[in-house]
Structures are given as C-alpha cells and as structure tokens.
Structure 1
C-alpha cells in the first residue's frame, strides 16, 4: 500500500461525514494519485469500522463491476465488493424518503441469502449452492459520496474511488419471492426494469460473469485474501446485469423478473 494509516483514516472520516451531511467530497484518486486497490480496500475497512462504531450492523456483501460494460468504463478487468448494513435495507413496495441519498441510481440483481458460511480460496459452484438458503430478485440502490468528476480537471472517478466509497453501496430492496438456486438457471433469470412505467433497461443473469454464482465464488476468494468470509445469514448481492438508472425525486421503479418475481421501489 502507498497510503499511510493517517491518510487512510482521514479518507474514511471524510467519506463518513459526507454521507451524514449529504455532500460529496473530491476524488480520492486526485488527492492520492498513487492510491492502489489495496489502499482503497483499507479505506473501505476503516469506513466500515466507523459505521459499526456508530451502531450499524453488517448484514452481508455486495459485488459490483461484474459486467463487461462497467469494467470497460473503469478500465479494469475484475469486480469489486462492499459491505451491506442493516440501515440499507428497504421494504419492497416502499418509498425512499427525500434527501436520504445524494445521487441515487438503481440496479437489478439476484440476491443470495446464505444458510451456511463460505470461506477459503478454493470454493466450487456446488459449495455455493449448498450454502445458499434461497435466491431472490432484488434492486440495489447506488449512491456516491465522491464526485463523479472533478470540476476543475474533468478527471472522473476511478476504481479506487469506488472501492473506498464502499463500492458505491447505499441500499437494497429484496423481493418476496424465494427460489432454490439449484432449481433455477440463474443465467436466464433476467429483468425488465421500468421507471415510471417506461422500460429503461433489460438484462439477464448471464451478464454477471456468465453466471451469478461465479460472482459469489469471486467474492469468497477475494475475502480469503483479507482473512474474511461469508457468514450464515448474510445477504449477498451477486452483481448487476443492467446499467445503473438514475433515481430522481418522484420516480417509481418496477423490476419484472418474470417467473422469478418482482421488486418495486419509489423515491419521494
């Protein structure tokens, strides 16, 4: 890593306060041009600890940047990950209060709810299926506590900004339908995402590393490198198979996953 412990702590504090204030900070990649992905995950870990000290409870993980389009946009070839907290969970069919987020966007994903732990660097597809209680349709709410682009230089956010900012994680909405992952071809589990009854995006589960289960395998292997693991009871968002759609005040989103289920969320 290239950042000092003081620099890591300062970045985490800035992100924590930005979320509380609803005001974005400047690009960390501009502040620290030498910043690496290991630095970014160290900032994320420090941010997570600040949130835990504030009383928030970890409920799982999210996997991001699983599609080729999003990886190409950030000039990387691997996904990233972040932490889910209890205050991020929104009820299906509910409404997000005005001012809760800064620049929210919506993605559609398949959520894995775990009944057993997963750890180690040699996880198989069968291991993931055996440890999964059920899968469900879901929406992820993204937000960014870091500017998308620096107004002075035009420099855009990089992968280190996104990772440090808890992988742009902000909320999740779980559908009520539950499925046995071994009984469903998740590659063909797709959605039609509508905003205010107008179709905005469509996609299939295969957009996530060719199989959403592959996203879980990647996460477990990445966590192993940091002596972390998935726990029984965790919710894991396996990665979006559509581009993020802006959530404006007054918008209503409906994700139709066909036989897999539906998820709805509105924004005041």
Structure 2
C-alpha cells in the first residue's frame, strides 16, 4: 500500500540517518495522505517501544507560511524516544540535517479538543517550560513540499524541555537568546510564535481534532519556533535563555 510504503521509507531514513528523495511521481501525496503517512510513520516508532507524548506545531511564523505558500499551520507527533535529557548529549551522525530552534512547551492537565479560546486553552495547562526542538528533514538537501514535510512528521526529530513553571506564567513576549558555546546565534521573542505561544496551543487542539484526535491530559505541546532554526555541528554546547523562564541546554558529541 502506498501510505505504508512511504512511511517505511521515511522511517528507514530516520533510523539510518540517511537522506531520501522527495515524494514525487508515484509517491506524491495530498495533504490528507501526508497526515496518513505521518500516522503510519509513528506506528513504526511505537512498534519499537516508543509511546506518544504529545505534538509539535509547525509554520507558526507568518513569514514561513508565506514562504511555503500556505495559510495554516502544520503539526507533527512527539514520541518518548524523541525526548532528550536536559543537559544531555546527542550524536550528529544519528541525523541527516539536524537543526535546533527555541520553543515554548505546554504540559496539559486536562484534555483539550476542537475549537477553543485562548482562555480555555490556558485553563487546560498544568505547566509551561522553555524548550528546544531538534528538527531534521529526512529529504535530500533539506528541500521539501508541504505534503513532504507533513509526511515526515513535520521534520520533528527530538526535543529538550527545561524547568516547569506555573501555568499562569506570562510567556507572551519573552526575550530569547540561543547560544552555541556561549556565542549568540539567534535573538528573538516568544511573540514570534503566532503573536503569543498560547495561540499555538489553540491551533494544536483545532488541527488535532480535524484528524479525529484529542490532546489528552499529560500531553506535551511545542507551540512553535520562536526563531529561525540553526544548523547543528559536532562538539557544540547549545543553550537557550528565556527571559523570566530560565534556560534549557544540551550538547552535541564530538565525533571522529
């Protein structure tokens, strides 16, 4: 079956850390088919012992939407094997084109589904934390169409979560400094996430419902990138400082 064939190809690329061609010709998919591929792709991870822990939002920047010629966000799934230890280390060779971007992470204390207001979304939040997401398109040259990236789990590959804070912590416009080895590589604000990160959570509930899914209590939601992603390289200490929210960090291993 086409969906299963593409899902296996993308999963194999992720497991091996090797690039695969874009979805063209017989493997070209519609957006609905792309989400079906994504679901099947995650089933491979679950089959290896991982479990779902939440989801991530993509294209939360208006500039990125315009660049891709779309008018709505996309989303991908987070699994337990993607959750990297805060302060831990990862190997670049396990990835294809790894990049990192700062995020705000919400932990839900109550289920959330469908069209909700920002206040309703906030009422479902148990805690909020600074986070970093490792993105890694499995496609050659980091080039892809909208259905391509959706099928590839919205390029999500890993994430690191910092210290949790009270749910009423204001994260709407916090200054951000992401550094490599103590040198700033990105400056930004959480306001770049749809004007306020809570809007990413609102969108997550709506888009998940379109696929017949509910954000359950205990789910993590990465609200979207607050800056452009920066390419990772071996032997780098990555740290991101969030105004009034603390920091989150990891490193990349030195490799021969």
TM-score (norm 2): 0.94
Q: CA offset at residue 34 of structure 1? A: 5.4
Which region of structure 1 is more displaced relative to structure 2, 70-79 or 158-167? 70-79
Alpha-carbon distance in 1 for matches of 2:193, 2:217: 23
Contact 2:136 2:155 in 1 (8 A): yes
Q: CA offset at residue 79 of structure 1? A: 1.3
Q: CA offset at residue 129 of structure 1? A: 1.1
* Equivalence map 1:90-239=2 (5 Å): 90-120=84-114, 122-148=115-141, 156-176=143-163, 178-184=164-170, 186-239=171-224
Alpha-carbon distance in 2 for matches of 1:40, 1:24: 18
> Is 1:22 aligned with 2:17?
yes
> What's the RMSD between the two structures over aligned residues?
1.5
- Counterpart of 1:11 (choices 3, 6, 21) is 6
Residue 203 of structure 1 aligns to a residue whose secondary structure is: strand
- Counterpart of 1:75 (choices 63, 69, 72) is 69
- Aligned residue pairs total 253
User: 4+ residue stretches of structure 1 with deviation over 4 A?
Assistant: none
Which region of structure 1 is more displaced relative to structure 2, 225-234 or 70-79? 70-79
Q: CA offset at residue 32 of structure 1? A: 4.8
Q: CA offset at residue 198 of structure 1? A: 1.5
Alpha-carbon distance in 1 for matches of 2:55, 2:252: 24
Query: CA 1:49 to 1:169, structure 2 compared with 1: closer, same or farther past 3 Å?
Result: same
Q: Deviations over 1:52-83 (max 9, x none)?
A: 12221111111111002222222222111011
Q: Which runs of 5 or more residues in structure 1 are unaligned?
A: 1-5, 150-155
Alpha-carbon distance in 2 for matches of 1:80, 1:32: 23
Residue 41 of structure 1 aligns to a residue whose secondary structure is: helix
Residue 45 of structure 1 aligns to a residue whose secondary structure is: helix
Query: CA 1:33 to 1:59, structure 2 compared with 1: closer, same or farther past 3 Å?
Result: closer
Q: CA offset at residue 147 of structure 1? A: 1.6
Residue 55 of structure 1 aligns to a residue whose secondary structure is: coil
Contact 2:83 2:159 in 1 (8 A): yes
Query: CA 1:148 to 1:130, structure 2 compared with 1: closer, same or farther past 3 Å?
Result: same
TM-score (norm 1): 0.90
Alpha-carbon distance in 2 for matches of 1:95, 1:182: 31
Q: Deviations over 1:196-252 (max 9, x none)?
A: 222111111111111111111111111111110101111110001100000101111
Alpha-carbon distance in 2 for matches of 1:21, 1:100: 7
Residue 154 of structure 2 aligns to a residue whose secondary structure is: helix
